[in-house]
Structure 1
Amino acid sequence: MDQTYMYRYLAQEASEAEIKALFEWIDESAENRKTFIRYKQAWALTSSSQDDSEVLWKSLNKKDSFSKKTRILTLSVQKYAAVAIVIFALGLFVEYLIQKESSDSVYFSQTEIEVPPGQMSKVTLPDGTAVHLNSGSKLFYNADFSSGKRLVKLEGEAFFDVYSDKKHPFIVHTPGDISLKVYGTSFNIQAYPKEGEINTTLVEGSLGVFDQAGNELSLLIPGQNAQYIKSENKIVLSDVNTGLFTSWKEGLVTFRDESLQNIALKIERWYNVEIIFENTELKEDLYNGTILKNKPIDQILEVFKLTSSLEYRIEYRTDQPTLIYWK
């Protein structure tokens, strides 16, 4: 069965001939009926708007890479077929996270804010700067922060909406030997200590990237991303869609041409699981897509299995993160 028919039927765009062909196929076997029911149930989790479909076609599925060994989704069919495979399962761009914030979801000390796995938080610093913190992140600031020394240290990911104060620059130190200096701006920074790169994305204003000696490495303008590669000690600037880097605030995990290894790190942080690659070659496979954070982990794993034949098994443990094996 051409999956275009299923997509068009569920999107209420099918012609009479397409509907007739679809239902004839459904009646052919019990297996066909089960397949259609599975698609229909999953479709209920998602939007069926044409706009979303266009976005998904451009953004979702496993990415071919000529420089890496990959297993590629079959994309020889029309665009609706590819969308039908994955739009329903991921539930993309149609729901917002019911945030898991509670009175004990963030731990405060005098100079430290820590957000545990699976949580997000928004905090306001003494100067009025608003900070959104992603899961597994820590933010440190000095006790004299409010006296004009606007210096913070970030381990993890955060979106800053910095209160404008031209006399007192706002400085962010990271675990990757670089610092950011801003005066009044909004930007996102991903700086997890165990990851090999730091990404800084400027949404508004201006932002300077400095090394430990205080030398300016680059000056960003809105819509730019600075990728600092730790192992090579270099910065790569690129023009980006800033929404891809800030969508996590809305409960989305977005990845573009991203390795499965990096995606696994994001899943580990949010779901508090540990992912083990039984086939290490899978780590370099590239993917495009967006995951809703409020979906159960087993649904997310099924999505990867459906879209790329990625097999998995789960090992639940008491008082320890759940183990997930990918092969």
Structure 2
Amino acid sequence: MDNEEIKLLLVKYITREADESEIDRIRDWVNAHPENEQYFAQLYETWQNMLYLNPEAINREKAFNNFSAVTLPPPSKYRQLVKWSKVAAVIALFGVLSVLLIKHYTQNIESVRQVSVNKGATKKMVLADGTLVWLNAGSKLNYNTDFGKKNRTVYLEGEAFFEIASGKKPIPFIVNTKNYTIRDIGTKFNLKAYPNDPFFETTVVKGEVSVEGNVNSSAREMSRIYVKPRQVLRIYYQQQNEKYTYKTDDLQGLKNLNEIQVLQVDSAKMDKYDGWKQNLLVFDGNTLEEIAKVLERRYNVKIIMDDAGLQNIKYSGSFRSVASVNKVLDLIKGNTDIDYTITDNTITITKSNN
């Protein structure tokens, strides 16, 4: 590929507009040379960070300068890798790319709509194409005002359940999160991508989705995983060379970065993953640390545990339409060795003295 072709394809890929064949061509280019991998990673990471800025607080000049600083590293970094002439050519290429990406960003930032849900609440909404979306507590959904016309792409931070509008659509439905892209090939799926959780999770109720990992920090590879009905894909974010679980050949390229779990779930237990939209809490062997995060979002409280051992206590149980967090904690307390106190909006969990 010549430089003009690379520029176009990289911008299309990073801005989520590339088709399957273009993605394959970019994958080949990224894997061809170490400097390609490094530059692609910098471009992608900077673009992703820009997407999660508050649109009302954008400083375009500062954003451009920051982007250029990242994508145009000092030549001394590459003296031992390539000749000066090659360095200059590559830097020139990505200088143009930075301009193209900033242009793409500034053209779209004014048209971004954001729907936010506070902790302690949920929200149901209908997108322009007829897709139903339930947003869980503490979540944000961004999309452009031309959604349904030129694109069907949304950006999620938090948790949401999607019921894609029926009928064949010429434009694919895509959900972007900070680390992964989800392409709908079906109709109903739950997606969990809270920024302070140590994992990404998607659960398919009906149909099928593909999950694309854009950058593997150890190999800079782009990979795709297909998740089928009643399957749960959970990816724990880990550092390179840490332990991982390798479940299927489809996970090649992500396996060195994360612990990956693919679970087949009985239809009767799906409410563990999507019951929240019916105001249902389901815990099935969850640790108290995991439960605390759910309760903090659901009831808009802060939970503190005075003993690290408490975090690993496991609990199973379900709650429907429980209005107060202390009722949930009372039930947990009845089956585990814990006690708790509430001061204003802060809950302190301690070991029981009984």
Q: TM-score, normalised by structure 1?
A: 0.62
* Residue in structure 2 matching 1:218, options 200, 225, 231: 225
Partner of 1:326: 349
Q: Write the distance in 1 (CA, Å) between the matches of 2:312 and 2:225.
A: 29
Q: Write the distance in 2 (CA, Å) between the matches of 1:154 and 1:236.
A: 21
Residue 231 of structure 2 is aligned to residue 230 of structure 1: no
Q: Write the distance in 1 (CA, Å) between the matches of 2:260 and 2:337.
A: 35
Aligned residues: 213
Residue 311 of structure 2 is aligned to residue 283 of structure 1: yes
Which runs of 5 or more structure 1 residues have no equivalent in the other structure?
Answer: 1-108, 317-321
Partner of 1:158: 160
Partner of 2:171: 168
* Root mean square deviation, CA, Å: 1.8
Residue 326 of structure 2 is aligned to residue 312 of structure 1: no
Partner of 1:143: 145
Partner of 1:27: none
Residue 255 of structure 1: SS of its match in structure 2?
A: strand
Residue 256 of structure 2 is aligned to residue 260 of structure 1: no
Farther off after superposition, 210-219 or 279-288: 210-219
Deviation at 1:300, TM superposition (A): 1.6
Residue 168 of structure 1: SS of its match in structure 2?
A: coil
Structure (1/2) with the larger helix percentage: 2
Deviation at 1:149, TM superposition (A): 0.9
2:149 alignment partner AA: S
Q: TM-score, normalised by structure 2?
A: 0.57
Residue 145 of structure 2: SS of its match in structure 1?
A: coil
Runs of 4+ in structure 1 deviating by more than 6 angstroms, as ranges, are none
Q: Write the distance in 1 (CA, Å) between the matches of 2:325 and 2:195.
A: 24
Partner of 1:190: 192
Output one character per residue of 1:229-274: Cα deviation in whole Å (capped at 9) or x when no partner.
1124243211013222111111111121211101000100111110
Output one character per residue of 1:15-55: Cα deviation in whole Å (capped at 9) or x when no partner.
xxxxxxxxxxxxxxxxxxxxxxxxxxxxxxxxxxxxxxxxx
Q: Write the distance in 1 (CA, Å) between the matches of 2:185 and 2:169.
A: 6
Farther off after superposition, 215-224 or 272-281: 215-224
Q: How does 1:61-100 map to 2 (within 5 A)?
A: none
Q: Write the distance in 2 (CA, Å) between the matches of 1:252 and 1:219.
A: 28
Deviation at 1:275, TM superposition (A): 0.3
Which runs of 5 or more structure 2 residues have no equivalent in the other structure?
Answer: 1-110, 216-220, 239-256
Q: Write the distance in 2 (CA, Å) between the matches of 1:132 and 1:255.
A: 20
Deviation at 1:184, TM superposition (A): 3.8
Contact 1:166–1:183, Cα closer than 8 Å, also in 2: no
